[in-house]
Amino acid sequence: MKRVIACIILVSLLTQCASREKNIQGTWRTDSISTFVNGFTHTNDSQDEHWSHFEYNSKGEVFERKKTEFRKYTYKILAADSLVYLDSTGNFLSGYKILKLDDKQLVLKKIQKPYLSGKNQTLYEVRFFSKILPDHTSASK
């Protein structure tokens, strides 16, 4: 009975990860970034040309585009709630907790290092993205 339950849980987790990998594919626009520092929150939602778009593909690659510049990373969804970026040699670059991922919205949380030494410090950043859908109207003209 324990094996059956373990298999069900494993299949459920693998299915959820596969679903997340499919949902993340596409181009995402940064909508806002909220920073939490020891009880204080600041939200930046002033969209300008300095904010990146992130394009995830089915090969596990993500392209970060800002104006005419771009960077290429590898991404992996390790669990239903964990997204990591790796460089071209497979070294860890950064990791995020997936708070929400569906076909329209992506919300990522990243724990930040404390600015000062000492205990009881909580710093993190939450990034909100919306999916950029292909423009089907221009193709029909």
> Which residue type is seen at 25?
Q
- Per residue in 122-132, pLDDT (tens digit) is 899 999 999 99
Q: Please give the pLDDT value at position 19.
A: 67
Confidence of residue 68 (pLDDT cuts 50, 70, 90): confident
The sign one gets for the Cα dihedral 83, 89, 91, 93 is negative
- Per residue in 13-47, pLDDT (tens digit) is 444 455 667 889 999 999 999 999 888 888 888 77
Q: Is 72 buried (19+), middle (13-18) or exposed (0-12) by CB count in 10 A?
A: exposed
Pairing type for strands 61-66 and 69-79 reads antiparallel
Confidence of residue 49 (pLDDT cuts 50, 70, 90): low
Indicate whether this model's pTM tops 0.85. no
Q: Domain boundaries in the chain?
A: 2-133
Q: Please give the pLDDT value at position 117.
A: 77
At 104, give phi and psi (nearest 5°): -125, -30
Task: Identify the CATH number of the domain defined by range 2-133.
Answer: 2.40.128.370
Tokens representing residue 135 in the block: 């423009």
